[in-house]
Copies of this chain bind each other. A is one copy, B any other.
Amino acid sequence: MGTLGIRTVGKVSFGTPASEQPGLHNRWHPDIPFAGTIKDGETVKIECLDWTGGQILNTDDADDVKNVDLTKVHYLSGPFEVETAAPGDLLLVEIMDVQPFQGQPWGFTGIFDRGNGGGFLDEIYPSAAKAIWDFEGIFCSSRHIPHVKFAGLIHPGILGCAPSAEVLETWNTREAKLITANKLEDRDVALPPQPINVHAGSADATLKEKIGKEGARTIPGRPEHGGNCDIKNLSRGSKVYLPVYVAGAKFSVGDLHFSQGDGEISFCGAIEMAGIITINFKVIKNGMAALGLKSPIYIPGLVEPQFGPGRYIYFEGFSVDQHGKQHYMDVTVAYRQTSLRCIEYLRRFGYSDYQIYLLLSCAPIQGHVAGIVDIPNACTTMGLPMDIFDFDISPTAALALTDGKTLDMGSCAFETGVTEGKVTNGGENSETSFGGGLTYKE
């Protein structure tokens, strides 16, 4: 054997601000200096902070969520040099394991305030809220959402290789056009490079300034390299084929999730955590052309939680919004409606809407495109696993409910002094609001 154990190529500290740790960065840019080197074929461990770099605390209020500074995110570990990788290659990344830190067995799910981040349902649920999750082995549970326990489908929300200068330029141009063309009154449509709170690893001041001006924000995933794709099944055992655009690949990873539902709907919606990811790296020379890949592909791991198809309740939603407006083939609208159907259903058991919104964001919810061709209605479905609850949520049980029989569901965390999140009419008077792609003004 020789030496036992797997080398840790990237380390983080809980005592030092994320912004001061040289192995972290929060922008995508080809010039961020390497944080370490990995051999072709090697398996290494990489430590990661949570995506906010520690802004969110294990507490019972949501002040930290409400006031989160989104110019600082995401703190990624890397970029790492993978030896021999060159532009045009593919990097085959096999996720051997993801684990929380032993001494940090907890994570958080947040709903951002509509004025600071927002989320998929923010017109209806505009308040900040939070749930803290405790980990015990493969399971998690929350004092803020009682009577729920489930095994984590643990995964990185973000992984990818650095863009080349050309790819970066494409991103910035493309997103700038969107921003120029679409001014929404109440929300950003994209986030251009922003030279505030830039962290570029070990870059010196000059380079850091450049990166601040040019570096792409980490919020969106992007087709060329993946990035923040937030794919819940990209879990242990998955193999991802990542395009390489710069010499040495400059691979970064972060935004670890103990669990996430399809859509990650509350934005800070996974069970966000710090942790350690173990990855095997292989370089496939000239793989981009050989496979003709324009975006990453992946093969899932085979240790996903298995509930059995008959242990899900599936909700259907269509592209008619909550104001009764018909949208044209808009899957975004349909999926929002599907989420609302699920909230309405679970509400009967005593949970608050905010608790359910948090839960659907982070539990292993299956979100499917069902029909996408039957004009004008796209149809999507959302599968809720019944076995994550410690009581019966089946329709049969729901029909047997009488008003006084629900369990004590406690409360999720809100802003200090607030005991219940606001629920609005969904922006009923606003023609421009709450659509998917369609409804904002051009």
Contact = CB atoms under 8 A, between A and B. Distances in A.
A228 to B, nearest CB: 5
A40 interface: no
Contacts of A263: 369-373
Contacts of A157: 371
Residue among A182, A263, A292 with the highest chain B CB neighbour number at 10 A = A263
A280 interface: yes
A157 to B, nearest CB: 8
A423 interface: no
Interface stretch (A23-31, A61-69, A196-204, A308-316): A308-316
A80 interface: no
A119 B335 contact: no
How many identical chains are in the complex? 4
A395 interface: yes
Nearest to A60: B1
A170 B308 CA distance: 38
Contact of A437 (B300, B303, B319, B392): B319
Contacts of A43: 136-137
Contacts of A302: 151, 305-310, 387
A137 B231 contact: no
Contacts of A387: 302, 308, 310-311
A309 B318 contact: no
A333 B437 contact: yes
A340 to B, nearest CB: 8
Interface string A373-417: 111111111010001000010110011000000000000000000
A269 B373 CA distance: 9
A423 to B, nearest CB: 16
B320 A371 contact: no
A64 to B, nearest CB: 15
Contact of A4 (B106, B264, B332): B106
A161 to B, nearest CB: 14
Interface string A93-116: 001110000111110000000000
Interface stretch (A245-253, A322-330, A351-359): A322-330
Contact of A331 (B58, B189, B436): B436
A11 interface: no
A233 B399 contact: no
A259 interface: no
Contacts of A368: 231, 233, 262, 366-369
Given A337-B223, A375-B220, A292 B344 contact: yes
6 contacts: A1-B106, A139-B237, A175-B376, A220-B374, A262-B370, A300-B310
